[in-house]
Amino acid sequence: MRPDQIKDEINRLELSERLLLVEDVWDAIAASNSELPMPEWQKRELDKRYEAYKKGQLELHDWQSVHEGLRDKYK
């Protein structure tokens, strides 16, 4: 089936069915996540940040305060 045919079929589904389909698609992507290559620049950046974390050079924030800050910023 071609992509445009798939889109047409998806558009015929009820909203609840489309939401379930999206969930299934994301689950399938997550299951094959190890197959996705990570660019070398991204590996270097992650290594750099992890080293800074281990040395205590990063200011860490819990998710609640980050969420609040974003919510306040974009009111």
Give the count of domains, the chain: 1
| Alpha-carbon distance values, 42 to 28, 31, 49 (Å) | 23, 21, 11
Token readout for 50 is: 């992890």
pTM surpassing 0.85? no
Tell me the per-residue pLDDT of 37-61, one tens digit each, with 9 for 90 and over.
889 999 999 999 999 999 999 999 9
Q: Are 22 and 11 in contact (CB under 8 A)?
A: no
Residues 6+ apart with CB under 8 A from 21: 10, 13
Determine the pLDDT at residue 32: 83
Residue numbers of the domain that contains 60: 3-73
